[in-house]
Amino acid sequence: MPDALLDDLNPQQRQAVTAGDGQVLVLAGPGSGKTRVLTRRLAYLIERQGVPAYDIIAVTFTNKAAREMEHRVVTLVSQNLEGIWLGTFHAMCARLLRRESAYLPFSASFVIFDDSDQQTLIKRAMRELNIDEKIHRPAGVHAAISAAKNDLQLPKDVPRRTYRDEVVARVYEKYQSFLTLNNAVDFDDLLLYTATLLQENPLVAEKYARRFRHVLVDEFQDTNLAQYVMLKQLAAFHHNIFVVGDEDQSIYRWRGADYRNVLRFEKDYPACETILLEQNYRSTQNILDGARQVIDRNRNRTPKHLFSERGSGNKIVQYVAVDDIAESAFVVDTITQYLKSGKASANDFAVMYRTNAQSRIIEEALMHAGIPYRLIGAQRFYGRREVKDVISFLRLVANPADEVSLLRMINVPPRGIGDKTVLTLQTTAMQAGVSVGQVVLELGQNGEGSPYWQGVGRSAALLADFGTLLGEWYALKDKISLTALVDRILQDTGYEEYINDQTEEGNDRWENVLELRRLASDFEERGLTEFLQNLALVSDQDTIPLAESDDPERPRGAVTLLTLHAAKGLEYNQVFIMGLDEGLLPHSRSRDDPEEMAEERRLFYVGMTRARNQLYLLRAERRRTFNTYDYGEPSRFLSDIGSDLISNQGRHSASRREAYESSFTWGSTGLSGTAKRHTDTTPKETRYRPGMRVRSSSWGDGLVLESKIDSDGEETVDVHFESVGFKRVLASLANLEII
């Protein structure tokens, strides 16, 4: 008789599901059926071992995972799951704290403050402590407090080695007092209070440890110290703890996750049974072998030998583009060929990158090709707050009568202009029959001599200060370059300090601003008006085809664009990983930190193992930085992959190494130091540019890879044709049509 619980499991999966009591560590490689094992284990305990659901706690990291687990288990067991604790860490903690509120500084009716509420309290605490927000950014202080809580540090425990440490400790203490007054907790408090309660109150700890005969944990490699302590306490009586994870897929160190909890588990439970899940059901063997060669370079991990029964499959494609535009053009061209062939739909493809700022070029390329796409974990580039902010500043300079942009930016960064002042300003402008911008400019120019000074009330001086800045920018817009204008606005407003709190998210935001500045450099000669017009057209959401369009000429679904961090747990038939340059992947911030570099390697490994059938690894020999090109080195990760697994396409950067230095230093804004910066030396007479689509009467459609003028004045064009592959042709003879 078929066994629905066990028959479709491989030997290692079955060993994990049917493991006896005690401590079990399941190290599950990517695509090895981790979720299946965890749900079958839960069902096995209930259905075969007779463990009441009431006696089980199973914790996950997402509500989606919890719902999926519950749904799968329900279909496998004959009894209901009444009494089981199944959900996220935070949900489980909130449940426990409400039950045990008598031991805590808040009542059972406590509320959980969201990010916005938390930021409000942090700022209030800093104001009361007279701490300058320009020197100590509230978001940065909040991030430090969050990290302290995840390490089980109360305000008194925070090290005070530097003045910043002192600031964090003081704000932390004040912030917690505000939370208590509001009968509130934040997300980190849920973990902190639960872990400390179980540590410091033996009666409470024993109560829950006795109840939960079995503790099951998903994504164990993503736990932090607070979560690890909590789990140990819950398993302290029956000693039955079953954890599933993979230290090779730990990529959230910046959020407090500590892959070393896997090592702690083995140390704390020396008798634990360790089971390796090494059979991969997702990828072909070539992809797995390449990923293994990358991750094997990391230390402090358990070696795994992933294997697949899907065969070797295609080799990993490594494509070296002339520049970042050609890099995106190759992606779009490849996807287009697949779609035309009918062998794939748009949702078979994923394009991955290290930072959100990298999405801009590929977004535009997909838009122009009419290929629908969706962004995971981020807004579209032109919809991101910081990008819209800078664009609004520029729109306001171009047109001070633009009330929408003015009202968006009048208090960004905060300059004390509130809603009441804005309403008074609008009323004053309406009564005078002029635009709001005109009033602000007049105040900036004439100050107390302005006819509007009295009308706008007590905030007239603040409005005048902003009007002065706006007037200065307006006077400069036709006298200095577009990038110089952007720089002046960013400097005058202190926008970098405002947007970048030195967290991962803050750095990403600033990189988005720098990417917009780089785009502005392409319009130096055409000016502000044309730049804004181009942005309006490119960012128009109406240009993006709908994924569910009824147009039979459009492919179903949409190409997925996402960061490598957002790729965890997902899979696609074809995966493109862009930006495999030193400084991008691995990121420049990891250069001097071995732990950060190890995490960058894990991040790349996660991206590689998302691919089912085909993996593309892309880099560019040069990337545009304002009006110059920066030449970079290939990512060190590429050299880890054996040549027998690689199919090389495009240019080969190794042949160009003599053109630039190999010694690099990285600052906050990119490449600097001893690496040579090259200006764009491409002759202006070239007709064809990298990334252009062209048509030949002999070979059909193709993609321009590079074009240059030789010593005889002839233009030579490198083209990848869909029908015949790479060709080098003379422009004067080939008669290539630009399409």
Q: How far apart are alpha carbons 348 and 436 in whole angstroms?
A: 49
Nearest to 589 by CA among 323, 357, 354, 384: 354
Determine the 3-state secondary structure of 127 from DSSP: helix
Tell me whether strands 23-28 and 241-245 are parallel, antiparallel or unpaired: parallel
Contact 40, 76 (CB under 8 A): yes
Q: Which amino acid does the sequence have at 83?
A: G
**SS3 of 713, please?**
coil
Count of CB atoms situated within 10 Å of the CB of 341 = 9
**Burial degree of 613 (CB within 10 A; 0-12, 13-18, 19+):** middle
- How long a stretch of residues is the chain? 739
Q: 186, 218, 621, 630: which is the annotated catalytic residue?
A: 218
Q: Which candidate in 23, 34, 515, 602 is catalytic?
A: 34
Cα(419)–Cα(417) distance, rounded to whole angstroms? 7
Instruction: Report d(CA 473, CA 478) in Å as an integer.
Output: 10
Please name the residue that has the structure tokens 């075969």.
Answer: 48
- Decide if 219 is catalytic: yes
Token pair, residue 69, equals: 């687990």
Q: Distance (Å, rounded) from C-alpha 661 to C-alpha 632?
A: 9
Please name the residues in contact with 534: beta carbons below 8 A apart, sequence gap of 6 or more: 523
Give the 3-state secondary structure of residue 678.
Answer: strand
The CA-to-CA distance between both ends of the chain, in Å, stands at 63
Identify the CA nearest to 582 among candidates 521, 650, 657.
Answer: 657
Is 716 marked active-site? no
Q: Could you confirm whether 624 is annotated as catalytic?
A: no
Q: Helix, strand or coil for residue 735?
A: coil
Which is catalytic among the residues 18, 35, 119, 468?
35
Q: Which residues pair with 709 in a beta bridge?
A: 715
Nearest partner of 679 among 620, 625, 621, judged by Cα: 625
715 has which bridge partners?
709
For residue 75, what are its two tokens? 């279909």
Q: How far is CA 608 from the centre of its chain?
A: 16
Q: How far is CA 374 from CA 336, 563, 586, 601, in A?
A: 16, 12, 25, 26
Distance (Å, whole) CA 194 – CA 189 = 8
Neighbour-count burial for 203-225, b at 16+ CB within 10 Å, e otherwise: ebbeebbebbbbbbbbbbbbbbb
Identify the CA nearest to 115 among candidates 188, 195, 180.
188
Q: Is 503 a catalytic residue?
A: no
Q: Is 62 in the active site? A: no
Q: From its phi and psi, is residue 416 left (phi > 0), alpha (psi between -120 and 50) or beta? A: left
Kindly give, in sequence order, each residue whose CB lies less than 8 Å from that of residue 629, ignoring residues fewer than 6 positions away. 323, 622, 623, 678, 679, 680
Most distant pair of Cα atoms in the chain: their distance: 94
Catalytic residue among 395, 518, 568, 610: 610
Q: Check 219, 258, 363, 386 and give the catalytic one.
A: 219
**Strands across the sheet containing 715-721:** 725-730, 715-721, 700-709, 693-696, 737-738
For residue 692, the number of C-alpha atoms closer than 13 Å in the C-beta half-sphere is 18
CB count, 10 Å around CB of 103?
12
> Is the separation of the CB atoms in 180 and 173 below 8 Å?
no
Torsion of Cα atoms, 193 then 199 then 201 then 204, to 10°:
80
* Annotation says 610 is catalytic: yes
* 224 CB-side CA count, 13 A: 22
Catalytic site residue from 23, 39, 249, 355: 249
Q: Which residues are known to be catalytic?
A: 34-35, 218-219, 249, 610
